[in-house]
Amino acid sequence: METIHTLTDLLVNSGCQYHIYDISRRVQLIDNEQFAAVERASQPYPYPIQRQAQFAIAYWNEEKQPWIWFLKFQLDERGLLSQGDVGQFLKYVLEAMGTRLGKEMSEEQQQKLSNNPFTFKPTDDKLAVFHSLLRAELDLTTSQYYQHARDYFRGDLGWDNWQTVGLQGITDMAARLGQEENGRLIRTSLRHLASEPRYALLGALEHVALPEKLSTTLRELAQFECESDEPDLFLLAAYARALSGGKPEQLESLVSEILASARLSHQEVLIAIAGRAWQPLTTPALAEKFLVRLAQTGNQGLFNQLFADLVMMPSLRLVLLPLLHSSPSPELASALVALQQAATQGKNSLGR
């Protein structure tokens, strides 16, 4: 038997098929080869959050009934996984179940494996999305809530009768936009939905690739909020997050429009951009404008938190770091000085 040093070694050695899903930000697949490179520390984790890698491993045998681990690991300042932490988790796995993963675990084995600091439970909304995406990927049956959700989004139940519609049914539809006209049903329903199902739907759409027509509809609805005399900023934030899987140019135009307006650049909207819709910030001018708006909120704690979070993203690191040494606006310069002072004080307190 080959020596097992990584999770990839273990999964390949088991003979099972497997997928890795990021759970940190958008629930999305990470290519197996990319994850293997992350484990070798030859590249940083692609979607960190709060200096953590949070991901799901789903593996299955020929029966296609997947086993699932939800794992979180601390990252170093370069965004790399700790080899020691991965090794420690592997030790828990090998002690609990050996190297043959594709078999049922006893209750004692499950208890032994779960008693470690690296497993966690995602939020209920991410769990629902994850299960829907995985079942769609493996061509497994939908949940019992799927058909009822379709009836509602078709308009058959009446738009106000949403109370019996299950979140799992909504995420099942979002995971299957290309099937049974789900994309069209969702697109046409968006102009009729009550607040609660609208937010549930938009939250599910954050994690999937959107068809062009649905992406366009979301952009139009976001535009309506942008142009309103009294925009619903929480709804605008939800549209921005939902567009993260839409056409890149539409997301970029929305983020640009938001950042061009002090009125629209509410901190809830900025948090949404940082958490889900960060892709346009790879453009340096937009990244700087985002930080200016963030500084203008006057919330230094939020500025420090979001900057520290975004600078860990491999796609943004080399965009944001040069701003520490540039000559930006007075508000941003002041916020960056306070950020660096807080970082210095943090290091000093750790050294005591």
Q: 248-266: per-residue pLDDT in tens?
A: 999 999 999 999 999 999 9
Tell me the pLDDT band of 61, cut-offs 50, 70 and 90. Answer: confident
pLDDT recorded at residue 169: 98
Average pLDDT over residues 73-78: 94
Average pLDDT over residues 40-48: 95
Q: Assign 3-state DSSP to the chain and report helix, strand, coil percentages, each to 5.
A: 55, 10, 35
Per the CB < 8 A criterion, the answer to whether 176 and 145 are in contact is no
Q: How many helices (H) and strands (E) does the chain have?
A: 17, 4
Q: Which two tokens stand for residue 26?
A: 């958008």
Across the chain, what does the average pLDDT equal? 92
Tell me the pLDDT band of 351, cut-offs 50, 70 and 90. Answer: very low
Instruction: Express as a percent the part of the chain with pLDDT over 70.
Output: 95
In angstroms, rounded to a whole number, what is the distance separating the alpha carbons of residues 186 and 215?
Answer: 11
Every domain of the chain and the residues it spans? 7-114, 127-208, 219-352
pLDDT recorded at residue 92: 87
Q: What is the pLDDT of residues 106-164, one digit of tens each?
A: 677 777 777 789 999 999 999 999 999 999 999 999 999 999 999 999 999 999 999 99
In angstroms, rounded to a whole number, what is the distance separating the alpha carbons of residues 106 and 125?
Answer: 28
Q: What is the 3-state secondary structure (H, E, C) of the chain?
A: CCCCCCHHHHHHHHCCEEEEEECCCCCEEECHHHHHHHHCCCCCCCCCECCEEEEEEEEECCCCCCEEEEEEEEECCCCCECHHHHHHHHHHHHHHHCCCCCCCCCHHHHHHHHCCCCECCCCHHHHHHHHHHHHHHCCCCCCCCHHHHHHHHHCCCCCCCCCCCCHHHHHHHHHCCCCCCHHHHHHHHCCCCCHHHHHHHHHHHCCCCCCHHHHHHHHHHHHHHHHCCCCCHHHHHHHHHHHHHCCHHHHHHHHHHHHCCCCCCCHHHHHHHHHCCCHHHHCHHHHHHHHHHHHHCCCHHHHHHHHHHHCCCHHHHHHHHHHHHCCCCHHHHHHHHHHHHHHHHHHHHHHC
pLDDT recorded at residue 344: 75
Rg (CA), the chain: 22
Is pLDDT above 90 for 95?
no
pLDDT recorded at residue 327: 67
